Amino acid sequence: MRRSRLEWLCVAAGAVLGLGGCAAQTVEFHHLPPDTPAASNAADIAKMQRLAASAAQAQKAQTQPAGEQAPAAEAPPPVTAAEAPSMKTYDPWGRLNRFTYRFNARFDEALFLPVANSYRRLPSPMRSGVHNFFANIAEIDSVINYTLQGRLGRMVRSLGRFVINSTIGIGGLFDPASKMRLPKAPTGFGTTLAKYGMHPGPYLVIPFYGPSSLREGIGLAADYGTLYVIDPAWTYRGDQSWGLGVLNAVDQRSNIDFRYYASGSPFEYETIQFLYIRKELIEDAGLHRQKRLPRADPNVPAGE
């Protein structure tokens, strides 16, 4: 049953991609969801105020008398320029990755993004309900992984969020926990692997999903496996799980402000590869904040 559906999906995706590639008119119109400049500007103002407030707070913490500061032993050793990884990136599967990146770009343009854009026309409360619902289910995975990482404070926070949002938040449709100063801080198996010292490894572009690394790829599979076994709210097994899986994917896509090749640049692959691996490595440095990083070897590509 499942296999036949998968095959059907692949055929449908192939047909759409093929047709998309064959279209040849002088002009093609894409109706996008309208811009909301006034609301975006208000959000920008709020964001700037938040940033200014947190910068002021950091300033205040710095200027406090030495006695009130955290003990020096807890201050992480600063990362120095010599510890920055090479500008080259470890990408032994480059050819396959480039192929997958191109496939993802075409799939996104022909099917995924248009669907996500249509979805963005639905009323905002409906969409945030969907978003909260899936985020709440992912909270289970966060609880498990914070436990594995030995970060009990964060584990309690995720558990608290899950309990509050599942009950007061009506099965996760609302997010009252964030209003109770328990902001979302998801984690996953990939971060657990990083916590235990695994390097990102080769850069990896995952079909339909996008930029990743071998470590994050394994992490994603494990996250999925965990939730598949638990099957919270029947979202991962059974016929309805297909529809819910698609809804989850569309919700995620509609919240990512990225357009393949909007840069117009042939170096887009290199740019994203570069930024993605640096992002992972900086997050790793944050996970191991008490450790001094090893001096980087400019001949060893980043991520290896």
Interacting residues toward another protein by CB under 8 A: 24-39, 41, 44-45, 47-48, 51, 54-55, 58, 76, 78-85, 87-88, 91, 94-95, 98-99, 102, 105, 154, 185-187, 191, 260-267, 269-270, 278-279, 282-283, 285-286, 289, 293, 298
Structure token digits, residue 84: 């920055």
Give the separation between CA 265 and CA 2, rounded to whole angstroms: 39
Nearer to another protein, 206 or 287 (CB): 287
Least gap, CB of 6 to another protein (angstroms): 26
Least gap, CB of 24 to another protein (angstroms): 7
Nearer to another protein, 237 or 292 (CB): 292
Q: Which H, E and C letters describe 152-168, residue by residue?
A: HHHHHHHHHHHHHHHHC
Contacts of 135 (CB under 8 A, 6+ apart): 172, 175, 184, 186
Nearer to another protein, 83 or 173 (CB): 83
Least gap, CB of 152 to another protein (angstroms): 15
Nearer to another protein, 105 or 249 (CB): 105
Give the separation between CA 44 and CA 58, rounded to whole angstroms: 21
What is the distance of C-alpha 127 from the center of its chain?
Answer: 18
Least gap, CB of 171 to another protein (angstroms): 25
Nearer to another protein, 36 or 167 (CB): 36
Contacts of 26 (CB under 8 A, 6+ apart): none
Listed residue (183, 181, 176, 186) closest to 140, CA to CA: 186
Least gap, CB of 193 to another protein (angstroms): 15
Nearer to another protein, 149 or 235 (CB): 149
Nearer to another protein, 20 or 171 (CB): 20
Least gap, CB of 243 to another protein (angstroms): 28
The neighbouring-strand residues paired with 210 are 206
Least gap, CB of 130 to another protein (angstroms): 21
178: left (phi over 0), alpha (psi -120 to 50) or beta: alpha
Give the separation between CA 239 and CA 243, rounded to whole angstroms: 8
- Cα-flanking dihedrals φ and ψ of residue 231, to 5°? 50, 60
Give the separation between CA 272 and CA 269, rounded to whole angstroms: 5
